[in-house]
Structure 1
Amino acid sequence: MTLPTLYSFRRCPYAMRARLGIYLANRAVSLREIVLKHKPEAMLALSPKGTVPVLILQNGTVIEESFEIMCWALSQSDPNNLLLANSNKKQEAAKALIEYNDQVFKSWLDKYKYADRFPEHSQQYYRQQGELFVQQLESLLDKHPQLLDQAPCIADYAIYPFIRQFAHVDKAWFEQTDYKNVQQWLANHLQSEAFTTIMQKFPTWLESEQEFVFGGEK
């Protein structure tokens, strides 16, 4: 049976998010690992925006947004109730956190990481703007070990790849901050089987001309 095709880039937090959703839903896809400087024409023909992830379903439907890929996968199989099916209130809270991450925090994260490209302010200024979201997460994690409850939900998996990127800009600084809850939460996710699995290395599609099955029943 033909599988959906996922164009991905290992270190991209959006692509990490998509792979997490697929893995946690026990779905299987044909993975095409790309090189960002040499984007495949086949991908660009289907998704001219040229960013990963891109998921091509068997019927030709193209899903270009990482969160939508997560929702597609989990709508078919959600064994851990990551979509919070029994709580509209938590669903709304998760949606709000993810929207803030994507629409506000990610912009400050990019400026913090690539501060030399944004000379209008200092790197410290950009970091301080990003910290506002980290502080919000720290407060949530004061109440329970995951963002909205005892167990992780879609918000945890959709957000932690970006907090990982924020932490890695200056690891020494991040590790000496008072964000102890966020540090522990992030460390736990980065040490998990899910993260280890989604971060395995595959030869690039253009080099190998091979597709690799990613995910599936565990």
Structure 2
Amino acid sequence: MSLPVLYSFRRCPYAMRARMAMAVSQQVCALREVVLAHKPEALLQASPKGTVPVLVLVDGTVIDQSLDIMLWALQRHDPEHWLPTTEAAWERTRSWIAENDGPFKQALDRYKYPHRYALPDGMAHRAAGVVFLQALDAVLRAQACLAGPQFGLADAALAPFVRQFAHTDVVWFSQQDWPALQAWLTQFEQSTRYLHVMNKIPAWESGQAAVTFPSI
């Protein structure tokens, strides 16, 4: 391989945040869009758990956790200063991501897909997610972004999941008293960084030419 290979799925929030970090850090890769119902054998050979994103480096090293992909990219090049610069900032960032990837993601899945969990509806889990969103709104009322005055690692890691929660019921989300969170999400969705990583590409099949990402 002449480039790292990134297996991705356009709408997956984990894959979104990995693509954003690869793009902002200008780490060029061959992007392979995966159809999750028909996972390519090359993906399963690289990472038998079969989830995305998966980054396969030129030397064969496999990174199959989204946050690890973000850190790999940003530690190589961080032109927009996404990485925290103090231990206190790192602790806040780790705490936000742990809450997002744990209890909030669990509530989100059950709110959005109650039938997968044999639930009559997802309302109780929406209520559980609200607690986290209220906490985010409180922080964003005091500062422009979760990372501080500028967009950073915490914002990139959480925004795709907040977006998915919001789009489960857009009208309901817009009616909540979360002006700072709603403005932050709108700014994210309209940003060049988000729009770039959401460009559609055909599903990858073995033997196809590579799709270079980010575009060069």
**What range describes the TM-score normalised by the shorter chain of this pair?**
over 0.9
Cα distance in 2 between the residues matched to 1:139 and 1:196: 27
Establish whether residue 199 from structure 1 lines up as the match of residue 198 from structure 2. yes
The Cα shift of 1:122 comes to 4.0
SS at match of 1:31: strand
Q: 1:25-65 CA deviation, whole Å, 9 max, x = no partner?
A: 11111001111111000110110000000000011000000
For 1:162, the equivalent position in structure 2 comes to 161
> What is the total number of aligned residue pairs between the two structures?
216
Contact 1:140–1:148 (Cα < 8 Å) also in 2: no
Cα distance in 1 between the residues matched to 2:7 and 2:190: 25
For 2:184, the equivalent position in structure 1 comes to 185
Contact 2:19–2:197 (Cα < 8 Å) also in 1: yes
Contact 2:39–2:50 (Cα < 8 Å) also in 1: yes
- Name the stretch that deviates more: 145-154 or 165-174: 145-154
After superposition, residues 83-162 of structure 1 pair within 5 angstroms as: 83-85=83-85, 87-120=86-119, 122-162=121-161
Contact 2:147–2:153 (Cα < 8 Å) also in 1: no
Q: TM-score, normalised by structure 1?
A: 0.95
The Cα shift of 1:119 comes to 4.0
Cα distance in 1 between the residues matched to 2:111 and 2:2: 42
CA RMSD in angstroms, aligned pairs only:
1.5
The Cα shift of 1:84 comes to 1.5
Structure 1 unpaired stretches of 5+: none
Q: Which amino acid aligns with 2:51?
A: T
For 1:10, the equivalent position in structure 2 comes to 10
Q: 1:175-218 CA deviation, whole Å, 9 max, x = no partner?
A: 1111111110000011000001000011111288221000267x
For 1:70, the equivalent position in structure 2 comes to 70
Contact 2:55–2:69 (Cα < 8 Å) also in 1: yes
Q: TM-score, normalised by structure 2?
A: 0.96
For 2:32, the equivalent position in structure 1 comes to 32
For 2:59, the equivalent position in structure 1 comes to 59
Contact 1:26–1:216 (Cα < 8 Å) also in 2: no
Cα distance in 1 between the residues matched to 2:81 and 2:59: 27
SS at match of 1:6: strand
Q: 1:117-156 CA deviation, whole Å, 9 max, x = no partner?
A: 3345742111000111101100100111101311011000
Once the two structures are aligned, what percentage of the paired residues are identical? 44
Structure 2 unpaired stretches of 5+: none
Q: 1:66-114 CA deviation, whole Å, 9 max, x = no partner?
A: 01000000000001211112x1111110111011100111011000001
Cα distance in 2 between the residues matched to 1:208 and 1:108: 39
Q: Which runs of 4+ in 1 moved over 3 A?
A: 119-122
